[in-house]
Amino acid sequence: MEDKMASLERLNLIGQMAAGIGHEIRNPMTTVRGFLQMYRNKDSFIKYKETFNLMIDELDRANSIITEFLSLAKNKPVNLTLKNINRIVQKILPLIQADATNNEMVVEVELTEVIDLLLDEEEIIQLVLNLVRNGFEAMTAGKRLKIKTFLDGNQVVLAVEDQGSGIKPEILDKLGTPFFTTKENGTGLGLSVCYGIAERNNATINIETGPSGTTIFVRFDDFAGML
């Protein structure tokens, strides 16, 4: 954990500069992507269609690296307002549902009544989406992902439970290290972003994993302390 924090700190310094560059790189990328998209369907290029698709996919991947890096390196102050996490989950559920359907997977929600918390809604949305996306990416068609909220003592807990392949014990302590990924097309930034968001929203992340799946628990600070 300390290692993770240290590398997040380092990234924050480099990040200020890189964030600026990231923004600037996006504009030319958008231009290139636009032309690729235009030429992809031209008759004279039709036999290169797969190559065009690959180029566009790779640009999109570069773009998501920048997006995730920007949110990791951002120095925008956190915007905490009283929010109900259930409402945030419900708000983005259609998006998650569509993602599940596309991948022939099932999403279930089990939201129990929880107290409002001081949260940065935009960040919590990103946190949930990152966790859910990892869940989907770990699962095969037909599997189920569950999003739960519940109270554990005085803590509000959000849990994302997947029926994926699980996380190998030997990589568990690398999780959250920026750019660590086991995926061919991964950015390795999703969980780093999540750890940063959790910290800013007074939450901690715990992982339970095994061969039949993974559950990520996000535990928000004991609300009794805020009264």
Residue 215, contacted partner among Mg ion, ligand ADP, none, CB below 5-8 A by kind: none
Find the binder of ligand ADP among 63, 67, 181, 204 (CB under 6 A). 181
Helix axes 121-138, 190-200, angle to 10 degrees: 150
What is the distance between the alpha carbons of residues 61 and 24, in angstroms, rounded to a whole number? 16
Find the binder of ligand ADP among 89, 167, 198, 218 (CB under 6 A). 167
Q: Residue 90: what residue type?
A: Q
Q: Which residue is nearest to Mg ion (CB)?
A: 190
104-107 contacts: CB < 8 A, separation 24 or more?
104/141, 104/142, 105/136, 105/139, 105/141, 105/142, 105/143, 105/144, 105/145, 106/142, 106/143, 106/144, 106/145, 107/132, 107/144, 107/145, 107/146, 107/147
Q: Which of residues 132-151 bind Mg ion (CB under 5 A)?
A: 134
**188 touches Mg ion by CB under 5 A:** no
- Asked whether the beta carbons of 195 and 189 are under 8 A apart, the reply is no
Residue 202, contacted partner among Mg ion, ligand ADP, none, CB below 5-8 A by kind: none
Find the binder of ligand ADP among 71, 126, 134, 149 (CB under 6 A). 134
Length of the chain: 227
Q: Compare residues 71 and 134 and give the one whose CB is closer to Mg ion.
A: 134
Residue 181, contacted partner among ligand ADP, Mg ion, none, CB below 5-8 A by kind: ligand ADP
CA nearest 73: which of 198, 192, 199, 191?
A: 192
Q: Compare residues 155 and 177 and give the one whose CB is closer to ligand ADP.
A: 177
What track of x and - describes contact with ligand ADP for positions 187 through 206 (by CB under 6 A)?
xxxxxx--------------
Q: Compare residues 45 and 180 and give the one whose CB is closer to ligand ADP.
A: 180
> In angstroms, what is the minimal distance from the CB of 191 to Mg ion?
6
**214 touches ligand ADP by CB under 6 A:** yes
CA nearest 69: which of 30, 27, 26, 119?
A: 26
**61 touches ligand ADP by CB under 6 A:** no
The token pair that represents 67 in the structure block: 């997006």
**196 touches Mg ion by CB under 5 A:** no
| Site residues, ligand ADP (CB under 6 A) | 134-135, 138, 162, 164-165, 167, 175, 180-183, 186-192, 214
